[in-house]
């Protein structure tokens, strides 16, 4: 079946994930001779080289919708979760229905607001997994502080995980080391409201042991998996330091065997797809299953309703299939299980972050070395902008992801690190006051 490619695409977001999506669309268009015009809301200095950036916030659904309608956008791709939680896809679909009489072709990639609850509410996800018998750690939904304290008394707090229900920017998951610490956390979340409404209820969960893995795919009438990638969460070498949104990645990850993948497909992703369909909130978009591979098989720690960052940066470098075709098939419901094809190479991505990230950091620091990038290296921008002197400077915590590919992981890793410099080194990438891990994919 031929799927006609959209001509006018709007990518919502400003991270390296969104830059990598735009880069892949550009590569595909060059290869096939199609002309695709790309817009970004709001984008970054990197995306401005692929298309046009627009001063529209990623969560400003009304502005995004008006822009899409006015500018004759054919496809809106939502990169991050926040606009999905805010009903971005519903709004675009509604606008398309209204415009339908004029034959305007406007579609959105991502789950509806209802389906995005798989990520937006951990209590919802737990109830859903219980109902559809999807393997997950034993969990209780704690609706009040008293209930939560009672739960702590009935269990060993050092064998539990406590999770804020709602979105907390990756900061809402705790592995307490004592009863007192757990009580204090619950007090802060449930009584003092450090996460606002997101801290109520709290999900209490059995703490699992095993190897963590993320499996990400296109989900609609079928499931097409991207090549598995491993993500590094801790800020510093040796998995030290605070948790981040992700500070490096490589693909393929060999923690996951083909046997694991089959089990994850049949026992987790397929029942998730089917459960959402039965609830009348069918899932269409990118689904990310955060898993623990345990002695009892893979179990779901969390769902995300979007691609990973920085996983996407390495996955796009290996993806052979046309990305817009995959997206269109996901939206139309004509996806086939083996539509997603990746090269047999390896890819490594290292995030250069602002000093202080993931806590406070300065912006406006100079980024150097971007003018002479070696063949085979791709830099995906995140917190970057052009200052009044025409230089690249920082505007966020994760500044950019440097990627390379190779026949082996080691080759990809060496190439990636060869582009990164030390302070003051000429011709290499450097972020003033910034840092990156030196042990990604080692
Ligand atoms: P989440 O946002 O739910 O994926 O949690 C963030 C991190 O907390 C995960 O990547 C794990 O490292 C850890 N974690 C979450 N849930 C559990 C669990 N039930 N057992 C052990 N570790 C967990
Ligand atoms: N890298 C983790 C995430 O995208 O959620």
pLDDT in tens, 146-193: 999 999 999 999 999 999 999 887 778 999 999 999 999 999 999 998
pLDDT digits (tens, 9 = 90+) for 58-106: 999 999 999 999 999 999 999 999 999 999 999 999 999 988 755 558 9
Residue 193, domain CATH: 3.30.1490.20
**Centroid of ligand 2 to alpha carbon of 105 (angstroms):** 31
Please tell me the distance from the alpha carbon of residue 75 to that of residue 97, in angstroms, as a whole number: 14
* N-term to C-term CA, the chain: 42
271 pLDDT exceeds 70? yes
Residues 316 and 372 in one domain: no
What's the rounded mean pLDDT across residues 401-419? Answer: 98
Does 295 share its domain with 400? no
Inform me whether the pLDDT recorded for 132 exceeds 90: yes
Which pLDDT score is estimated for 424?
Answer: 73
Here the CATH number for the domain that contains residue 350 is 3.90.600.10
**Do 375 and 295 share a domain, yes or no?**
no
Token pair for 191: 């009584």
Q: What domain range is 179 assigned to?
A: 144-200
Last residue of a domain, one of 109, 131, 158: 109
Tell me the pTM.
Answer: 0.96
Residue 15 covered by a domain:
yes
Helices and strands (H and E) in the chain: how many? 13, 22
Lowest pLDDT segment from 141-155, 159-173, 344-358, 380-394? 159-173
Instruction: Assess whether the C-beta atom of 403 lies below 6 angstroms from ligand 1.
Output: no
Distance CA 318, CA 402 (A): 14
The count of domains in the chain is 4
Measured in Å, residue 302 CA sits from the centre of ligand 1 at 7
As a whole number, the mean pLDDT across the chain is 95
Q: Give all strands of the β-sheet with 223-225 in edge-to-edge order.
A: 223-225, 211-219, 285-294, 297-304
Rounded CA-CA distance 325/32 in Å is: 12
pLDDT of residue 1: 43
> Is pLDDT above 60 for 2?
no
Regarding whether 191 and 293 lie in a shared domain, the answer is: no
User: Residues with Cβ < 8 Å from 375, sequence gap 6 or more?
Assistant: none
Beta strands 285-294 and 384-386, pairing class: unpaired
Residues 314 and 351 in one domain: no
| Residues shown for the chain | 442
pLDDT of residue 268: 98
Residues 6+ apart with CB under 8 A from 20: 312, 313, 316, 317, 380, 401
- Domain boundary (285, 308, 332) is at 332
Q: Is residue 121 part of a domain?
A: no
Closest protein CA for atom 7 of ligand 1: 173
Instruction: Identify the pLDDT of residue 410.
Output: 98
**Are 21 and 44 a contacting pair, CB within 8 Å?**
no
Which residues have CB under 6 Å of ligand 2? 231, 245-246, 304, 308-309, 311
């Amino acid at each position: 079946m031929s799927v006609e490619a959209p001509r006018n695409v709007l990518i919502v977001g400003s991270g390296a994930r969104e830059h990598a999506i735009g880069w892949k669309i550009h590569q595909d268009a060059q290869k096939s001779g199609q002309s695709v015009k790309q817009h970004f809301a709001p984008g970054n200095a990197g995306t401005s080289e692929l298309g046009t950036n627009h001063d529209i916030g990623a969560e400003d659904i009304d502005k995004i919708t008006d822009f899409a309608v006015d500018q004759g956008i054919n496809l809106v791709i939502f990169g991050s979760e926040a606009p999905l939680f805010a009903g971005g896809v519903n709004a675009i679909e509604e606008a398309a229905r209204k415009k339908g009489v004029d034959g305007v072709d406007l579609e959105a990639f991502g789950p509806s607001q209802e389906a995005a609850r798989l990520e937006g509410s951990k209590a919802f996800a737990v109830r859903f997994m219980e109902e559809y018998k999807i393997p997950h750690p034993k969990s209780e939904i704690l609706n009040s502080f008293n209930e939560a304290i009672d739960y702590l008394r009935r269990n060993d707090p050092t064998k539990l995980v406590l999770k804020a229900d709602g979105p907390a920017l990756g900061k809402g998951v705790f592995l307490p080391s004592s009863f007192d610490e757990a009580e204090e956390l619950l007090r802060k979340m449930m009584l003092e409201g450090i996460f606002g409404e997101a801290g109520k209820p709290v999900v209490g969960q059995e703490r699992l042991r095993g190897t963590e893995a993320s499996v990400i795919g296109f989900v609609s009438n079928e499931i097409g998996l991207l090549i598995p990638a491993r993500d590094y969460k801790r800020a510093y070498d040796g998995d030290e330091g605070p948790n981040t949104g992700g500070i490096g990645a490589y693909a393929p990850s060999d923690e996951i065997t083909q046997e694991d993948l089959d089990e994850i497909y049949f026992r987790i992703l397929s029942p998730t797809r089917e459960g959402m369909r039965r609830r009348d909130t069918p899932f269409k978009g990118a689904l990310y299953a955060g898993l623990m591979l345990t002695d009892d098989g893979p179990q779901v720690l969390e769902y995300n309703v979007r691609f990973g960052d920085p996983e996407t940066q390495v996955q796009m470098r290996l993806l052979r299939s046309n990305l817009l075709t995959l997206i269109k098939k996901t939206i139309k419901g004509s996806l086939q299980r083996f539509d997603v094809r990746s090269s047999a190479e390896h890819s490594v991505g290292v995030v250069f972050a602002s000093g202080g990230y993931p806590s406070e950091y300065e912006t406006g620091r100079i980024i150097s070395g971007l003018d002479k990038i070696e063949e085979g290296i791709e830099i995906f921008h995140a917190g970057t902008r052009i200052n009044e002197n025409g230089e690249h400077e920082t505007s966020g915590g994760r500044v950019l992801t440097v990627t390379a590919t190779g026949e082996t992981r080691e080759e990809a890793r060496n190439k990636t690190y060869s582009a990164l410099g030390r302070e003051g080194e000429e011709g290499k990438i450097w972020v003033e006051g910034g840092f990156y891990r030196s042990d990604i994919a080692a």
